[in-house]
């Protein structure tokens, strides 16, 4: 017995093969459940594939652009690393960031190998003045 899910506003309606309503659930909670299955390391690959398929179907019925989920931990780690680097680089260009925050961001970026290990001209003098 395979039930059919359809999205109607903020509700996910589950119907049986005869079109009878079996249940109505909140869209956000149903979506969160499928997302949790995707990120749970104890979930089987087959279940993750089913969850991703269901998410795409629900999101498209709800009018959202489907989100691409990756099972590859290396891809996720690389994406995370790029986001961290991007965040620290953004601090360097943010006019409202304090000098201390910018120094910390530069230090972290240098340690990560995302910034030249030697200070740019003029930076050394500014850093020495701040230490005094």
Residues 48 and 85 occupy one common structural domain: no
Residues 11 and 41 occupy one common structural domain: yes
pTM confidence score: 0.45
Residues 41 and 83 occupy one common structural domain: no
What's the number of domains the chain is made of? 2
Alpha-helical (H) ranges within 15-98 are: 27-39, 45-62, 73-93
Q: Does residue 57 lie within any of the structural domains?
A: yes
The average pLDDT across 53-74 equals 71
Per-residue confidence band for 123, with pLDDT thresholds at 50, 70 and 90: low
Report yes or no: 65 and 51 within 8 Å, Cβ to Cβ. Answer: no
Residues 55 and 22 occupy one common structural domain: yes
The average pLDDT across 106-127 equals 72
Residues 78 and 102 occupy one common structural domain: yes
Residue 120 clears pLDDT 70, i.e. is over it: no
Domain that includes residue 94, residue range? 73-112
Q: Does residue 82 lie within any of the structural domains?
A: yes
Q: How far apart are the first and last CA of the chain?
A: 75
Q: Does residue 54 lie within any of the structural domains?
A: yes
Distance of alpha carbon 72 from alpha carbon 78, whole angstroms: 10
Q: Does residue 58 lie within any of the structural domains?
A: yes
Residues 56 and 11 occupy one common structural domain: yes
The average pLDDT across 83-90 equals 90
Residues 79 and 39 occupy one common structural domain: no
Q: Does residue 47 lie within any of the structural domains?
A: yes
Region label for 19, one of left (φ > 0), alpha (ψ between -120 and 50) or beta (otherwise): left
The average pLDDT across 104-110 equals 92
Q: Does residue 35 lie within any of the structural domains?
A: yes
Q: What is the pLDDT of residue 127?
A: 52
Q: What is the pLDDT of residue 81?
A: 84
The average pLDDT across 38-60 equals 87
Q: Please, how many CA atoms are within 13 Å of residue 88, restricted to the half-sphere of its CB?
A: 19
Convert the pLDDT of each residue in 16-41 to its tens digit.
888 889 889 998 899 899 899 988 88
């Amino acid at each position: 017995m395979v039930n059919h899910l359809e999205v109607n506003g903020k509700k996910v309606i589950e119907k049986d093969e005869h079109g009878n309503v079996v249940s109505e659930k909140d869209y956000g909670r149903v979506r969160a459940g499928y997302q949790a299955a995707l990120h749970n390391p104890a979930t089987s690959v087959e279940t993750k594939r089913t969850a991703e398929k269901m998410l795409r179907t629900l999101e498209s019925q709800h009018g959202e652009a489907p989100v691409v989920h990756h099972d590859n931990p290396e891809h996720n780690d690389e994406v995370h690393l790029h986001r961290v680097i991007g965040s620290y680089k953004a601090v360097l260009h943010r006019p409202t960031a304090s000098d201390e925050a910018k120094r910390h961001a530069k230090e972290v970026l240098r340690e990560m190998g995302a910034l030249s290990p030697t200070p740019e001209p003029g930076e050394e003098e500014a850093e020495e003045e701040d230490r005094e």
